[in-house]
Amino acid sequence: MEFRHLRYFVAVAEEKNFTRASERLFIAQPPLSRQIQQLEEELGVILFEKGSRPLRLTEAGKFFYAHAQKILNKVADVKSMTQRVGKIERTLSMGFVASTLYGMLPRIIRLFRTQHPAIEISLHEMTTMEQIQALKEGRIDVGFGRIKHEDPNIRRIVLREERLMLAVPVSHPFSASHEAISLKALVPEKLIVFPKSPRPSFADQVLAAFMLKGLQPEKVFEVRELQVAIGLVAAGEGIAVVPASVQGMRRSDVTYLDILEKHAVSPVIFSARMSDQSPELQNLLQLIYEIYDDAQISYSRETL
C-alpha cells in the first residue's frame, strides 16, 4: 500500500463519485478506478458497495476511511512542522478573533515581542473554526478563539471563562439600571449577534445561553463582526451580548450592564498543533501562564 492509495481512497469516499474525485485529484478516471481496485485487492476487502449511486462505503470502508483520514492529517501536520523547522528566520503566526484584542492578547503580544525581539510575529484575524483549519494547514502557529471544538490534531487550552455583558444604547431604559439584567428581560428586545458566518461562532454561544434557560429571543439580527454590532447598538438599532473585555471599546453612546445569569460566559481558548514543541511556542505559553498568574485569572493547563 502506498501513500497515494490513501489520498485516492479518501477523495472517492468524500466525493461519493469517481468522476468528481478524479477532477479533484487531477487524474483520469480509469487510472483512479484501477488504484482503488488494487487497494481493495491488497486489503482483501470491498471498500465501496457495488452499484450504489452515490457511492457508499461498506463497514470495512468506513473503518478504513476513519484511519486513512488520521494518517493523512498526521502527514500534513509533519510536513508543516518540518517546513517550519527548516526556515532560517524565526517566525510566529497568530490567529485571533476580534474580541480577544480587548482582553489580555495585546499585552501578551507586546511582552513577547519585548522578550523575543528576534522572532517576527504576524497577526491574522479569523474565526475560531478558521483558526483550527489554518493550524492544520500550517498557515498559523497559534490561535486565540472562543469556540470549544475537539480535533485530535489540535491542542487547546482554556485561558479563562469570560463573563458576558449587555451592551445597550444610552437612551435605552436598561441603561438607567444599577442591577444586573436577566436574560428573560432581553427576550422581547432586538438582539444583535455576531459573527453572521461561518458557524459555529460566538453568536451560537450567546443563543445557547438563552436556550439553557428555556428562552428564545423574539428578534435576532445577525451581523458580520463585533464592531458592526456595537455600532448598531450605538445607533439604537438593538442590544448585544458581548464579552466583558469589550468595555475597553469606550463609547459615550453605549452602556455596558452585567447579566444576572452566572452561566453566561464565553471562554478564551489558546490553540496550537498537537505535535508542536517548538521553543517559540513553549516561550509563548510560559509568558501566557505568567501574565494570567499575575492578573490572578484562573485558567486550565489541561487540553480540551
* CATH number (domain holding residue 228): 3.40.190.10
Both 256 and 182 in one domain: the answer is yes
Whether 301 is covered by a domain: the verdict is no
The pLDDT of residue 298 is 62
Alpha-carbon distance of 267 to 163, in angstroms, equals 9
Both 164 and 154 in one domain: the answer is no
Both 51 and 128 in one domain: the answer is no
Out of 55-69, 156-170, 187-201, 284-298, least confident range: 284-298
Whether 154 is covered by a domain: the verdict is yes
| Structural domain total, the chain | 3
Phi, psi dihedrals of residue 106, rounded to the nearest 5°: -55, -40
Both 164 and 259 in one domain: the answer is yes
For residues 155 and 270, the answer to whether their CB atoms sit within 8 Å is no
Both 153 and 281 in one domain: the answer is yes
Both 72 and 7 in one domain: the answer is yes
Question: Buried (b) or exposed (e) across 140-150, using 16+ Cβ within 10 A?
Answer: bbbbbbbbeee
Domain span at residue 118? 90-158+268-294
Both 262 and 165 in one domain: the answer is yes
The pLDDT of residue 86 is 59
Both 244 and 200 in one domain: the answer is yes
pLDDT(238) > 80: yes
Whether 213 is covered by a domain: the verdict is yes
pLDDT(304) > 60: no
147 falls in which pLDDT band (50, 70, 90)? very high
DSSP 253: T
Domain boundary, last residue among 85, 104, 136? 85
Whether 300 is covered by a domain: the verdict is no
Cβ neighbours, 10 Å, residue 281:
16
For residues 229 and 242, the answer to whether their CB atoms sit within 8 Å is yes
Start-to-end C-alpha separation, the chain: 34
Query: Please, which residues have CB within 8 angstroms of residue 253's CB and are 6 or more apart in sequence?
Result: 169, 170, 234
Whether 304 is covered by a domain: the verdict is no
Both 22 and 114 in one domain: the answer is no
pLDDT(297) > 80: no
Both 7 and 143 in one domain: the answer is no
What interhelical angle do 279-294 and 105-115 show, nearest 10?
130
pLDDT(292) > 90: no
Whether 79 is covered by a domain: the verdict is yes
pLDDT(46) > 90: yes
- Look over the chain and give the mean of its residue pLDDT values, rounded to a whole number: 89
Both 167 and 30 in one domain: the answer is no
pLDDT(88) > 50: no
Both 276 and 149 in one domain: the answer is yes
Whether 299 is covered by a domain: the verdict is no
Place of cell 435576532: 220
Domain boundary, last residue among 36, 67, 85? 85
For residues 269 and 156, the answer to whether their CB atoms sit within 8 Å is yes
Domain harbouring 71, CATH code: 1.10.10.10
